[in-house]
A and B are shown apart, each in its own frame.
Chain A
Amino acid sequence: MICTFLRAIQYTEKLHRSPAKRLLLPHLVLNKACLKTEPSLRWGLQYQKKTVRPRCVLGVTQKALWTQGPSSRKAKEDSSKQVSVHRSQREGTAVSTAQKVKEAGRDFTYLIVVLFGITITGGLFYTIFKELFSSSSPSKIYGRALEKCRSHPEVIGVFGEPLKGYGEATRRGRRQHISFIEYVKDGLEHMRVKFYIEGSEPGKQGTVHAEVKENPKSGEYDFRYVFVEIESYPRRTIIVEDNRPQDD
């Protein structure tokens, strides 16, 4: 029973250390051939670097070997731990200062890299939030102007429902970029936006121009004008909204 227990332990040890199947086969052969051979047991305990020469007789000797195994292992570990403690105590200060400087330098470089990455990511997030959520971004103004066009009966009459809007064609056909100009006049911010619309009527395309002005009291952007230019000959202009008389 002890032999089978030993055999099982050796198998698992070998499995851990050498996953290749080829190594297991000679071991199995050896063990099956004769359990009491020295080489197999020595191979099993080889990592302790102890040349044990047992007379492998079932019973007492094997038990003694097995009990010796873990204790000798522990002794080896303790001795190695003691050696390392001694070593660190002796050369302690010199090694650790140099080590400390190196590690501090490495940590500092890592910190710089991390901060750089966070800054860039934060900048990107800020840009995209401003674009999507701030009411002064061209995308929002384009959205509002498109809604106004969609609810204007003349535009619907010319283009047909549903109306769809898009901006400038960027690489590979995506048309998300809305062209715009920002300028400051009389201390107030103005922005002009230009985009295209198309409806269900085939072949009819329109260009929408819109301008917003900053309202000094509320900080919101109000429309100054919105008009649609139809790409046909002669060019036709539909004025959706004109608030310029309210300028002065």
Chain B
Amino acid sequence: MEEYAREPCPWRIVDDCGGAFTMGVIGGGVFQAIKGFRNAPVGIRHRLRGSANAVRIRAPQIGGSFAVWGGLFSTIDCGLVRLRGKEDPWNSITSGALTGAVLAARSGPLAMMGSAMMGGILLALIEGVGILLTRYTAQQFRNAPPFLEDPSQLPPKDGTPPPGYPSYQQYH
């Protein structure tokens, strides 16, 4: 934790934007290569040329739209964190919904609501996956919990002052 002396939040936006762009370019590149290959005339040279052309034209566009989505999502997320003052899964879901709404803004309010719902549901699913993964991978490392005493930072029940050393407990 000490290495991240600065707040992750403003820098997270750039991070997410770049990561999303890379994902879009690579994924879009693969799909467009296959599509260009299939839609080209018969003959391996035509096909390769068609495939390369499709990648050259479409992959940056796909990367760009992914980057816009990721950057906007992260910006709204950081804004919500600053506003609410705490970080929890609600921020992600609300950010996803607002991102979907903003990106569909040109198509009118009904499309905005539909897009917001899709974004929110998508992010709820992603958060669910994250939570499940974290809980179940952590459970693998946990032994049967020992009988836990009260932490030693608290005074004992009869009221004498607490000692200086914290007890080492197994959190996950």
Contacts and interface: CB of A to CB of B under 8 A. Distances in A.
Interface in B142-172: 145, 147-148, 150-151, 153-155, 157, 162, 164, 166, 169-172
Given A125-B125, A245-B157, A165 B132 contact: no
Contacts of A124: 124-125, 128-129, 132
A194 B164 contact: no
Contact of B86 (A143, A170, A190, A242): A143
A167 B87 contact: yes
A227 B86 contact: no
Q: Place the interface of chain B in its size category.
A: 35 or more
Given A125-B128, A128-B131, A180-B171, A166 B87 contact: yes
A179 B154 contact: no
A163 B15 contact: no
Contacts of A131: 89, 127-128, 131
Given A180-B171, A194-B171, A163 B85 contact: yes
A225 interface: yes
Given A181-B172, A194-B171, A128 B127 contact: yes
Interface in B67-120: 81, 85-93
A18 to B, nearest CB: 15
Contacts of A146: 86
Contacts of B12: 172-174
Contact of A127 (B4, B9, B90, B128): B128
Q: Place the interface of chain A in its size category.
A: 35 or more
A164 interface: yes
Contacts of A119: none
A244 interface: yes
Contact residues of A: prevailing secondary structure: mixed
A131 B153 CA distance: 29
B8 interface: yes
A165 B87 contact: yes
Interface in A181-239: 181-183, 185, 190, 192, 194, 209, 225, 227, 229, 234-235, 237, 239
Given A165-B85, A176-B87, A225-B150, 17 more contacts: A128-B128, A132-B93, A139-B89, A142-B86, A165-B86, A165-B87, A172-B15, A172-B16, A173-B11, A174-B12, A181-B148, A194-B171, A209-B153, A235-B166, A239-B154, A239-B155, A242-B154
Q: Which 4 A-B pairs have the closest CB atoms?
A: A173-B8, A124-B128, A164-B85, A128-B128
Interface of B: 1, 4, 8-9, 11-12, 15-16, 19, 81, 85-93, 124-125, 127-132, 134, 145, 147-148, 150-151, 153-155, 157, 162, 164, 166, 169-172
Interface of A: 121, 123-125, 127-128, 131-132, 139, 142-143, 146, 162-167, 169-170, 172-183, 185, 190, 192, 194, 209, 225, 227, 229, 234-235, 237, 239, 242, 244-245
20 contacts: A123-B128, A127-B128, A128-B125, A128-B127, A131-B128, A139-B89, A164-B81, A164-B85, A165-B87, A169-B1, A173-B9, A179-B172, A180-B172, A192-B169, A194-B171, A229-B166, A235-B166, A237-B162, A239-B154, A245-B157
